[in-house]
Amino acid sequence: MIEFDNVSKSFWSGTQRKVILDRASFRVEPGNSLGILAPNGTGKTTIIKMMAGMEKPDEGTIRRTSRISFPLGFMGGIAGKHTANENARYIARLYSLDPDYVEGFCRWLADIGEYFDQPMSIWSSGMKARFSLALMLALEFDIYLVDEGMPTSTDVEFNRKAGMILRERLAKGTMVIVSHQPKTLEKFCRTAAVLRNGQLYMFDSLEEAKRLYDYKAHG
Ligand SMILES: Nc1ncnc2c1ncn2[C@@H]1O[C@H](COP(=O)(O)OP(=O)(O)OP(=O)(O)O)[C@@H](O)[C@H]1O
């Protein structure tokens, strides 16, 4: 479970305070994949980072009682001067997993040939996106965090394989996905929320969330 209790977060832009959350309380329960709808620039990435423990709240408490992934596409834990082989093995050890398994899985899924054994700093952004998703899928989590703004791959075969494994993982796990488009959430989420004026409004269905989202956007 991820629980936000009276959480506030804002940034100072230089001229004004940008409020992301204002004493917001909500929970993400395992088994109940959640889609969060919010317009661009309103705090989707910040909320995902807070769920991952990468960004601290200004006030309030965030409790995590499940194995929670890093955000899909996050490359901050990867050292560009090292090869994917070295990075995969190092991260496997951090998670107390078999380095041979994690390396083999990433090598197979990312499928980038000899580049896997070359420094990642020379890779294309598509290759990095493939490795990052492969790495997330190699490690098992209870809750997967997905930010629609993260880099993605356009490789059809990779997307087919990764999509198949993601569906397998989600059969047992839970996803939190943030997006500005209801369509992105349709495939994955049972429940949905709308981020508005520093509060997260929870709904039992995406349809209900869309009504508030569309009303605020166009009404
Ligand atoms: N470290 C920071 N310092 C100052 N302002 C920040 C910081 N991080 C984010 N912001 C600001 O907070 C607001 C929300 O940013 P965030 O990236 O969370 O939004 P988003 O909804 O994910 O945006 P997008 O849809 O454009 O990716 C933006 O105005 C952004 O400029």
Alpha carbon nearest to ligand 1 atom 1, residue: 11
Please give the structure tokens belonging to residue 92. Answer: 């496997």
Q: Using a 6 Å CB cutoff, which residues line ligand 1?
A: 11, 13, 18, 20, 38, 40-46, 149, 180
Tell me the backbone φ, ψ of residue 117, rounded to 5 degrees. Answer: -105, 20
Do 89 and 158 fall within a single domain?
Answer: yes
Do 108 and 163 fall within a single domain?
Answer: yes
Q: Is residue 73 part of a domain?
A: no
Q: Is residue 162 part of a domain?
A: yes
Percent of the chain having pLDDT more than 90? Answer: 56
Do 96 and 170 fall within a single domain?
Answer: yes
Q: What is the dihedral of CA 137, 191, 53, 90, to 10 degrees?
A: 0
Do 171 and 185 fall within a single domain?
Answer: no
Exposure string (b/e) for 96-113, b if CB count within 10 Å is 16 or more? ebeeeebbebbbebbebe
The answer to whether 7 and 60 are in contact (CB under 8 A) is yes
Q: Distance from the CA of 45 to the center of ligand 1, in angstroms? A: 7
Domain with 185, as residue range(s), is 2-66+177-218
Do 164 and 109 fall within a single domain?
Answer: yes
Distance of CA 190 to the CA centre of its chain: 17
Q: How many other CB atoms are there within 10 angstroms of residue 133's CB atom?
A: 26
Q: Distance from the CA of 80 to the center of ligand 1, in angstroms? A: 25
User: Structural domain tally of the chain?
Assistant: 2
Q: Is residue 48 part of a domain?
A: yes
Do 18 and 8 fall within a single domain?
Answer: yes
pLDDT tens digits, residue range 140-163?
899 999 887 655 677 788 888 888
- What's the mean pLDDT in 190-199? 90
pLDDT tens digits, residue range 111-132?
999 999 999 999 998 898 889 8
Residue 82, SS3 per DSSP: coil
Gap between the Cα atoms of 175 and 168, Å rounded: 12
Residue 198 belongs to domain with CATH number: 3.40.50.300
Do 200 and 165 fall within a single domain?
Answer: no
Gap between the Cα atoms of 32 and 28, Å rounded: 7
Q: In sequence order, what are the residues at sequence separation of 6 or more whose Cβ sits closer than 8 angstroms to the Cβ of residue 73?
A: 129, 132, 133, 147, 150, 151, 152
Report the pLDDT value the prediction gives residue 172, as an integer from 0 to 100.
85
Q: Distance from the CA of 8 to the center of ligand 1, in angstroms? A: 15
Q: Is residue 131 part of a domain?
A: yes
The lowest-confidence range among 75-79, 129-133, 164-168, 210-214 is: 75-79
Do 154 and 196 fall within a single domain?
Answer: no
Q: Distance from the CA of 97 to the center of ligand 1, in angstroms? A: 34
Do 118 and 197 fall within a single domain?
Answer: no
Do 100 and 161 fall within a single domain?
Answer: yes
> Which comes out higher in pLDDT, residue 87 or 74?
87
Q: Is residue 75 part of a domain?
A: no
- DSSP lists the bridge partners of residue 99 as none
Please give the structure tokens belonging to residue 59. Answer: 């006030």
Q: Is residue 47 part of a domain?
A: yes
216 band by pLDDT with thresholds 50, 70 and 90:
low
Please choose from 7, 11, 178 the residue to mutate so as to test ligand 1's pocket, defined by most ligand atoms within 8 A of CB: 11
Tell me the backbone φ, ψ of residue 146, rounded to 5 degrees. Answer: -130, 125
Q: Is residue 77 part of a domain?
A: no
Q: In sequence order, what are the residues at sequence separation of 6 or more whose Cβ sits closer than 8 angstroms to the Cβ of residue 113?
A: none
- What's the mean pLDDT in 46-61? 96
Q: Is residue 71 part of a domain?
A: no
Quote the mean pLDDT of the chain.
89
Please give the structure tokens belonging to residue 109. Answer: 């899924």
